[in-house]
């Protein structure tokens, strides 16, 4: 069995509004392979859908959560466990980034820069 970090995207759909609000939730999964991990992520996403029995609101508007998909799946890497079980200091997920120059990297680190994601 392997450990994975699944990036599950949930959208908050607001009644009568066109706002597009989404959350990317990173969830740890234990599965024998990628296919089963994606299936587990889909199940979690679908279970998270709904409107809390009609009581969910966002900024004063009736709302509901809608599962939009699993954006990515990453195997986790543990520096101290040969089976890559989650442990202190383990890498849960990662993003590869590309910058135009060193200044752009510095801007990103300060929270005011942009990066191009490499997949």
Q: What is the pLDDT of residues 53-108, one digit of tens each?
A: 999 999 899 999 999 999 999 998 888 888 888 888 888 887 777 888 888 888 87
Residues 66 and 10 in one domain: yes
Residues 39 and 11 in one domain: yes
**83 assigned to some structural domain:** no
- Which domain, by its residues, includes 97? 89-119
Q: Could you tell me the pTM of the whole model?
A: 0.79
The CA distance from 6 to 38, in Å, is 8
The CA distance from 112 to 42, in Å, is 33
Domain count, the chain: 2
Residues 15 and 56 in one domain: yes
Residues 102 and 67 in one domain: no
Residues 71 and 17 in one domain: yes
Length of the chain: 119
Residues 17 and 50 in one domain: yes
Residues 24 and 69 in one domain: yes
């Amino acid at each position: 069995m392997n450990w994975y970090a699944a990036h599950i995207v949930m959208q908050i759909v607001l009644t009568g509004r066109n706002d597009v609000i989404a959350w990317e939730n990173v969830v740890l999964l234990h599965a024998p392979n990628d296919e089963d991990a994606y299936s587990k992520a889909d199940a979690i996403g679908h279970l998270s859908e709904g409107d809390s029995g009609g009581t969910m609101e966002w900024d004063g508007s009736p709302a509901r959560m809608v599962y939009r998909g699993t954006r990515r799946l990453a195997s986790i890497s543990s520096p101290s466990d040969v089976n890559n079980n989650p442990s202190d200091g383990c890498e849960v997920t990662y993003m590869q980034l590309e910058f135009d120059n060193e200044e752009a990297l510095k801007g990103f680190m300060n929270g005011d820069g942009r990066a191009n994601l490499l997949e």
